[in-house]
Amino acid sequence: MCSWLRLRGAGDGRLPGGHQVICVDNDPQKISALLAGTIPIYEPGLDRLVAKNVKTRRLRFAAKLSDALREANIVFIAVGTPPQSDGSADLTFIESVAQEIALHMKSYTVIAEKSTVPVETGEQVERTINRYNHKKIPFDVVSNPEFLQEGTAIEDFLHPDRIVIGVKSKRAEKVMKDLYAPLKARILVTDLKSAELIKHASNSFLAAKISFINSVARVCELVGADATQVAEGMGLDPRIGRAFLHAGIGFGGFCLPKDLEAFHYISKKVGYEFDLLRTVIDVNEGQRALFVKKIQDAVWILKGKTIGILGIAFKPNTDDIRFAPSIDIIERLQAQGAKIKAFDPVAMPKAQGALKNVTFCKNAYEAADGVDCLALVTEWQAFKKLDFRRMKKSMTHPILIDGRNLFEPEKMKALGFEYHGMGRSK
């Protein structure tokens, strides 16, 4: 949401009633929108949380970092690190903000990397700040990776399973521990490089878990097993766990694909061919092609057919469409001549700028009207409550391709649908 996040505290970093926070961004339109009470992203509960803290003046917004740094003792760098064509992270914004912090620091400051960055970035930030820190203001650079999930970000922040802090000094360690003390969460203190690697390693492992169950699902389809039952049995093992064992069209969003590519690039750069990560990427991309093939097999010729798409966001409870599987799937269908009708509860405004020649519908029923096939792409829970008897009556052919295994096959078949899931035998 904001390019620079600045937290101000007195002494131990805590003030009566909470921390004082200033969010800074160099986009004046974004700052104006925030000052007017408009949240630029969809995140459940965020609008109320922001309004509450703005009202008590614990949260403010500014367009100039120099103003925010007058009394700051902690500065979070939360700028974008978009992927480049070779898979590496573009750290232009990191360098830019590091220079500006160096020029405007007033007293000892902890500079915390919050953005997901490749290992050794902290050292580069420290070197950059030293180069531009003409007044020789004391500072420390720490790595404090975030593990928030879109759709549950507030809960994840307030009740984290762990807080990772990579430090080089006891002084910085104390400042960061005092900052997070109210959360009463487990704090893992590491060296700077280990903290930077934890985020990439964590997200890459989760991505690998998804690609593994999707590969298992391929085998399930071939032998006539049910991937959801296999995943349930695997997940009961506490060493494995059920989370992220959901067969489907693969992962999307900004974090997993970007971090996976970046970790693969980092490993190759330092001399290790992390082939497992390349396979994880290939399996994920293959799931989208498989989903399109399922649609094609069901309707035969795609040219001239109308396909209804339920869900555009990369996951429920967000309007984020970055690297969303829906984009690739829709474009693949269009390339074969299919007409697309689509509905998403919150992501359509953003999708309208990313997709061409798509009929965006006001609800799921309109998206199903007159289609030759209905494809479930995002598992919004609201879709489970749809009246499928009503939908079936308006569809040209009652075919449902369930890319997230949201529905029960037998129930859909009992309603008269031709149903196809992911990793489920026909």
Q: What is the largest CA-CA distance in the chain?
A: 75
* Cα dihedral 145, 149, 155, 161 in deg (nearest 10): -50
Q: Which two tokens stand for residue 235?
A: 């997940």
Q: Environment class of residue 114 by beta-carbon count within 10 Å: exposed (0-12), middle (13-18) or buried (19+)? A: middle
Annotated active-site residue 23? The verdict is no
Cα–Cα distance, 96 to 84 (Å, whole number): 17
Beta pairing class for 399-402 and 373-376? parallel
Task: Quote the CA–CA distance of 220 and 218 in Å, as a whole number.
Answer: 5
Q: Are 299 and 311 in contact (CB under 8 A)?
A: no
> CB of 23 within 8 A of CB of 1?
yes
Return the closest-CA partner of residue 124 out of 33, 50, 222, 193.
193
Catalytic residue among 23, 220, 255, 373: 255
Distance CA 101, CA 77 (A): 10
Q: Which residues of 228-252 are buried (b: 16+ CB within 10 A; e: fewer)?
A: bebbeebbeeeeeeeebbbbbbbbb
Encoded amino acid at 384, one letter = K
Task: Give the 3-state secondary structure of residue 52.
Answer: helix
Contacts of 59 (CB under 8 A, 6+ apart): 21, 22, 23, 50, 53
Beta-strand relationship, 306-310 and 339-343: parallel
Query: What angle, 0 to 180 degrees and rounded to 10, lies between the N-to-C axes of helices 275-299 and 325-335?
Result: 50
Residue matched to tokens 């396909």: 307
Is there a contact between 177 and 167 (Cβ–Cβ < 8 Å)?
Answer: no
What 3-state class would DSSP assign to 392? helix
Per-state percent for the chain, helix, strand, coil, to nearest 5: 45, 15, 40
Just list the catalytic residues.
Answer: 255
